[in-house]
Amino acid sequence: MKCCSRSTLGVIIGVLNVLAYVICTIGAIVFLVQLTGTEKRNQEEIDAAAMYNTIFIVIIVLSLIMIIISALLITGIVKRRHRMMLPWLILSGISFVVNCIRFVYYFIASIIVGAHFTAIVIILIAGVLGIGISALILWPIYTLYRDMRRENIEKPGHVTDSNPVQYQISSGYYQN
């Protein structure tokens, strides 16, 4: 049973990404304002506040970039332009690989340090669940990208760098 097309699913994923990053941006701005509004007493607190300011500013900038990239994903899906989807796919693919490596690292490290069995099981379940959800989000967008790319390449009149448009130039004069 099919509930919605991949295009609709892609737009939903893009909108949820935009909403999540807008919330992240607002939260970081609120924390940044609260942090700068507190009184500082000694040098350690000033240094800690400067570090947190930098972290929150980086979070805000990255969130704004991801909002733009998610908007590109939505626009690419709606306008059927596969290249507009590439930034989101590349960053999501990198994020997926990094999260897989991080999961394996934490799982092995928890076994090596002799963590409690319950903690190891929780790490395993949370890691597999997180990677599974990431794959379920990434795969439909990738297949949609692949299909759009194939569709755009096979479309008649499609212009690529290797196949430029040939213009007909008349050698005669225009007749009145």
159: pLDDT strictly greater than 80: no
140: pLDDT strictly greater than 80: yes
State how far the Cα of 167 lies from the Cα of 161, in Å rounded to an integer.
Answer: 15
Give the SS3 label for residue 3. coil
Residue 96 sits at the vertex; the CA angle it makes with 67 and 142, to the nearest 5 degrees, is 75
- Higher pLDDT, residue 56 or 168: 56
Per the CB < 8 A criterion, the answer to whether 87 and 17 are in contact is no
**Using CA atoms in the order 33, 37, 41, 44, what is the torsion angle rounded to 10 degrees?**
0
131: pLDDT strictly greater than 50: yes
- The pLDDT of 103-130, averaged and rounded, is 91
74: pLDDT strictly greater than 90: yes
Main-chain dihedrals φ then ψ at residue 163, nearest 5 degrees: -130, 75
62: pLDDT strictly greater than 90: yes
107: pLDDT strictly greater than 70: yes
90: pLDDT strictly greater than 80: yes
The whole-model pTM stands at 0.74
- The pLDDT of 6-29, averaged and rounded, is 93
Residue 9 sits at the vertex; the CA angle it makes with 60 and 136, to the nearest 5 degrees, is 80
- The pLDDT of 107-128, averaged and rounded, is 91
Long-range pairs of 102-110 with CB within 8 A, sequence gap ≥ 24:
103/127, 103/128, 103/130, 103/131
Residues above pLDDT 90, as percent of the chain: 56
- The pLDDT of 16-39, averaged and rounded, is 87
Terminal Cα distance for the chain, rounded:
63
Per the CB < 8 A criterion, the answer to whether 17 and 73 are in contact is yes
- The pLDDT of 16-35, averaged and rounded, is 92
What per-residue confidence (pLDDT) applies to 161? Answer: 46
- The pLDDT of 22-27, averaged and rounded, is 94
Token pair for 105: 């690292």
32: pLDDT strictly greater than 60: yes
Question: Residue 142: CB partners within 8 Å, gap ≥ 6?
Answer: 89
- The pLDDT of 78-104, averaged and rounded, is 93
What per-residue confidence (pLDDT) applies to 165? Answer: 40
Question: Residue 148: CB partners within 8 Å, gap ≥ 6?
Answer: 76, 77, 80, 81, 82, 85
